[in-house]
Amino acid sequence: MTQLNETTDIVIVGAGPTGLTAAVRLAQLGVPHVVLDAGAEPSRTSKAALVHASSLEVLAELGVAEALVDAGRRLHSIVMVDRGRVLVRVRLTELPTPFPYGLSVPQSTTEALLVERLARLGGSVRRRSRVDTVRAEGDRQVVEGTVDGAAFAIRARYVIGADGAHSAVRAAVGLDFPGQTYSAQFVLADIALGATQLRDDQATIVLSPQGVTVLGRLPSGNHRIIATVDADADVPEAPDRAYVDALRPYGGRTGVVVAVPDPPPGRRPLPGGCRVPRGRRGAHPQPGGGPGHEHRDRRCLRPRHPPRGGCRGRRA
Ligand SMILES: Cc1cc2nc3c(=O)[nH]c(=O)nc-3n(C[C@H](O)[C@H](O)[C@H](O)COP(=O)(O)OP(=O)(O)OC[C@H]3O[C@@H](n4cnc5c(N)ncnc54)[C@H](O)[C@@H]3O)c2cc1C
């Protein structure tokens, strides 16, 4: 049955870090809104696991930073190494911010804390609600989709498209999404390492002729590894221990001794690339900064600005 009568000020499509951040801010401001997400449940994976100081500053305004910092692991420096030789050491402790470190924390934790905060402010996420399109009707936007197979339509003054890299909102409003794809694949793994020389409070970027490898410790004690492999390399979807052991990027390039659980959890190849909707470049408002994702416009999160830029506020 199609529900046609619902109205609100703002519909947020997507309950990832971006949509949840917008939702908490709107709830703080007392702006009526509805949050829709196609997923049946929140994300359970670590994905964007490094939260930078500027993101923590935004999260502090939302009342989430303290709990997030408690749940995370502080990384005080980022070191770039070339076959054992330190090329660059970036001391995050010298950043002029209340959060002079990078925070290692799974994205699922960030999202869970944002959902909790939203709930304390009286908000919630409507799950299994897939948006198919957005269309203008007079001075309103109509968001149409399905929830558990039943059609819905919600009228709103503004729509915030926070529905990720394959955004239905972006497609519906004809927003361009130009960008380039790196000529490499990135392999991500959260794994248990054996004894290492790595410092727990440091992210390490290892350069080598075989490519780049990034290592950093997660709050669980496991390490996050990101390594480039050839674009045409055949990476299995569910690799076994032998594949991960043989992965040259971290074994050969870093000399780190590893003990990998079988099967290794949380590893998957990502197409590399960084795409920003044209004319929407800005600071990261959300935990992000890695490959294969889009950046959004910080203005969406500022109370003095109406949703625009990376968000979508379209009038007929
Ligand atoms: C495996 C993996 C590893 C990653 N690792 C890193 C990393 O190490 N570092 C890093 O910086 N970044 C990483 N990323 C990228 C990072 O996760 C994204 O940048 C971040 O999630 C973007 O947040 P977002 O809120 O904009 O979108 P998303 O987190 O993608 O959230 C979008 C939400 O919209 C919902 N949605 C989508 N379409 C619809 C629709 N039509 N209707 C309703 N809801 C919809 C989805 O269910 C989802 O909940 C990784 C991503 C993946 C997949």
Domains of the chain in sequence order: 3-49+106-179+273-301 (3.50.50.60), 184-271 (3.30.70.2450)
Task: Report whether residue 47 contacts ligand 1, using a CB cutoff of 6 Å.
Answer: yes
- Counting as low any pLDDT under 50, the low residues of the chain are 248-251, 253, 257-316
88-122 pLDDT per residue, tens: 999 999 999 999 999 999 999 999 999 999 999 99
Distance (Å, whole) CA 76 – CA 124:
35
Query: What's residue 279's pLDDT?
Result: 35
* pTM score: 0.82
Read off the tokens for 33: 């809104």
Task: Report whether residue 114 contacts ligand 1, using a CB cutoff of 6 Å.
Answer: no
Read off the tokens for 239: 């690799």
Atom of ligand 1 nearest to the CA of 43: 49
Atom of ligand 1 nearest to the CA of 14: 34
Task: Report whether residue 289 contacts ligand 1, using a CB cutoff of 6 Å.
Answer: yes
Closest Cα partner for 189 from 121, 117, 269, 285? 269
Contact 190, 108 (CB under 8 A): no
Query: What's residue 257's pLDDT?
Result: 41
> Would the CA dihedral through 224, 293, 73, 100 be positive or negative?
positive
Query: What's residue 276's pLDDT?
Result: 39
